[in-house]
Amino acid sequence: MSRTIPLERIRNIGIIAHIDAGKTTITEMILHHSGRTYKIGRVDDGTAEMDWMDQERERGITITAAATSCDWQDHRINIIDTPGHVDFTAEVERSLRVLDGGVMLFDGVAGVESQSEMVWHQANKYRVPRICFVNKMDRVGANLLRSIDMMKKRLNANVGLMQLPFGAESSLTGIIDIIEEKAYMFLGELNSEPREIPIPDEYRDMVARYRRALIENLAESDDEIMLAYIADEEINVAAIKAGLRRATISARIVPVLCGSALRNIGIQPVLDAIVDYLPSPLDMPPIHGFEPRSGLEELRYPDDNAPFSALAFKIVTDPFVGRLVYLRIYSGRMNSGAVVYNAVTGKKERIGRLYQMHANDRLEIPEIASGSIAAAVGLRNTSTGDTICDTEHPIILESITFPEPVISVAIEPSSRGDQDRIVDALTKLAEEDPTFKVQYNQETGQTLISGMGELQLEVIVVRLLREFRVKAKVSRPRVAYKETITIPARAEGRFVRQTGGRGQYGHVWLEIEPLQPGTGFEFVNRIQGGVVPREYIPAVQTGIKQTFAEGVIAGYPVVDVRATIVDGSYHEVDSSEPAFKMAGAIAARECVRKAAPVILEPIMKLEVVTPQEFLGDVIGGLNARRGNIDGIKSLDALAVIQCYLPLAESFGYATDLRSISQGRASFFMKFDRYQAVSKELADSIMEKYRIGR
């Protein structure tokens, strides 16, 4: 089957931003102007096509990343509309991993917000070239130049300003193109084209100044522009655009546009900029991976004739077709019905049907080719981050890393009939969201679900009821505390049982020492002379790991510890793997108790935006919740409070803040680090653990 759209005319992009910056609105406008849809959905009305989940329409926010595609100027644009709420950061993470470019939105009034910084750094992590769109320029207080200044200071962005607003706030009627030195009036009707008008006299000097600044910036970032600039040659529009494209793809400059998505101002220029400045798959470096058997590095180029390789970046349970696996194809092509190889699991699977997705609508297609994003049915053993490839040319591509959950709740079915269904439903939901974890606590008999925040878990519980028809009771949120040690320690673990016949004998000496935060668990074998036979060492390690996972002083996982087995003994007849596993567990518990253990609690980075008149009350509320104020900034009539707050004290803060500020303050919160709790709080946590047992 021949390719209908050349690779150089494909753009794989994501719309990314802070919550409520207008991502879904601009996506709806893009789809309308490109002819993909005929009716524009509104977020406020709950009619946005990209927010297809019931909860998205009810809450007015994006919860899951939705994929679609459209055509513009003979180019195919594959779009992923991502969530802005920090609880759903995994959706942004996996989308950026597979995209070639991004459109970053900013609120023209708020400028660079906290989640803006977070997604910007995520884009940096995956080296995603991007353009910026300063949205909501029609709102009172919108200021393009202030937003750009914030981009430079807070994001360290090298900004290339391409447009200026024509009019201000409610009188915004158009934009001025700095590169082409043209002004465009937007009439407001949805199907109308922008009308070119002469640049008003009062804007001419400003346009000339910013055009000169853009060329000078390009000269510092692009060799061809620099040579022309030094030679004092005229740099025409085509040369500026070509230079800006090279600088954007290499992430040396970020072009900035402006407008109002809700009022349909500046949308067509954004589509033009996506085509003109963001990369095609051919502009991106080849994807790196390694051959699973030899471990040698491999490269895959975006070529239809190369061996097939694709990354599974999202799993969705569809009520009509079953398990959908979203794929980004990096090389080669594959037909429906073909057998592929999962290089991570080492298993072959058969692709059933292939679909081009538009939110939750599906268009069946016979084939997928390099550079495309599609969904497949039939990959039952494929998980997020797995590599699907040609059976004869296996490769494992770089996977996707996700943050660990920081909040848990206990969940139980409301009736005995829901018992089996809830297990199946939670398994499917955990497959969809890598930051959602399900655990069964042997001691309490409870099922714990964990995630990134209260909203994420609330959405999960509602989905259980609506999609899976499972009624469940949920307890109060539980903080994911951890345990660690502060000094080295040494202890003996001896397990001896004699009950008639063959006995059980395991004996080890263990040393533990603290590691740097975030290191996790390390095991070292320093046994010499065979005092503990080699075949029993893995059992000792298993016993230590299980003990650390269950916790020692308060029932929470022990982290950032190196455990070293240094000595021991065995019995030729009575020693066994279970005995050494028990010996390792006993030694681990004794070591932790001797090593000055502490309890760690998750600390959240909090940013509160409040009108100045409520500043004192908001600070007082944070202090009462053990908040540590890091700084306060003034933003006209608003104050921005930066604070570190224990997660345990954050529950119910949204309600309290609304009450304090008459509903006018807002906040953003993300996980920052783990930190040792005070002795009083540690004693309280351990006492609850002892009572619970």
pLDDT tens, position by position, 295-306: 899 999 999 999
pLDDT in tens, 603-625: 989 888 888 889 999 999 999 99
Strand order in the sheet with 339-342: 347-350, 339-342, 387-389, 309-318, 322-331, 373-377, 354-358, 361-365
Candidates 211, 201, 6, 21; CA nearest to 111 is: 21
Q: Where are the alpha helices (DSSP H) in 630-678?
A: 653-661
| Alpha-carbon distances, residue 212 vs 77, 134, 160, 461 (angstroms) | 31, 21, 11, 55
Greater pLDDT, 205 or 503: 205
Per-residue confidence at 501, pLDDT binned at 50, 70, 90?
Answer: low
| Confidence (pTM) | 0.75
**Mean pLDDT, rounded, for 343-350:** 92
Asked if residue 557 has pLDDT above 70, the reply is yes
**Mean pLDDT, rounded, for 241-261:** 94
pLDDT in tens, 140-157: 989 999 999 999 998 999
pLDDT in tens, 22-59: 888 898 889 888 887 766 655 555 555 555 566 666 66
184-193, 210-219, 266-275, 392-401: lowest mean pLDDT where?
A: 184-193
Asked if residue 77 has pLDDT above 80, the reply is yes
pLDDT at 1: 44
Q: Are 532 and 580 in contact (CB under 8 A)?
A: yes
**Mean pLDDT, rounded, for 409-428:** 83
* CA 523 to the chain's CA centroid: 30
Q: Which amino acid is at 185?
A: M
Q: Where are the alpha helices (DSSP H) in 390-449?
A: 419-432
Q: Residue 81 has which token pair?
A: 């509309």
pLDDT in tens, 636-676: 778 889 999 998 888 878 778 878 887 778 777 788 889 99
Helical packing angle, 114-125 and 144-155, nearest 10°: 50
Query: How many other C-beta atoms are found inside a 10 Å radius of the C-beta of residue 481?
Result: 24
Q: Which residues, listed in sequence order, are joined to residue 568 by a DSSP beta bridge?
A: 508
pLDDT at 91: 83
> Which residues make Cβ contacts (< 8 Å) with residue 458, sequence separation at least 6?
none
Q: Return the ∠ at Cα 290 (arms to 330 and 437), rounded to 5°.
A: 80
Per-residue confidence at 90, pLDDT binned at 50, 70, 90?
Answer: confident
State the average pLDDT for the chain.
Answer: 87
pLDDT at 55: 67
Coarse DSSP helix, strand, coil percentages of the chain, rounded to the nearest 5 percent: 30, 30, 35
> Which residues make Cβ contacts (< 8 Å) with residue 324, sequence separation at least 6?
315, 316, 317, 318, 355, 375, 376, 377
Strands 130-135 vs 101-107: parallel, antiparallel or unpaired: parallel
Percent of the chain topping pLDDT 90: 49
Three-state DSSP class for residue 425: helix
Per-residue confidence at 208, pLDDT binned at 50, 70, 90?
Answer: very high
Phi, psi of 264 (to 5 degrees): 65, 40
Per-residue confidence at 72, pLDDT binned at 50, 70, 90?
Answer: very high
**Mean pLDDT, rounded, for 546-572:** 92
pLDDT in tens, 113-136: 877 888 888 898 889 999 999 999
Asked if residue 444 has pLDDT above 90, the reply is no
Asked if residue 420 has pLDDT above 80, the reply is no
**Mean pLDDT, rounded, for 319-324:** 82
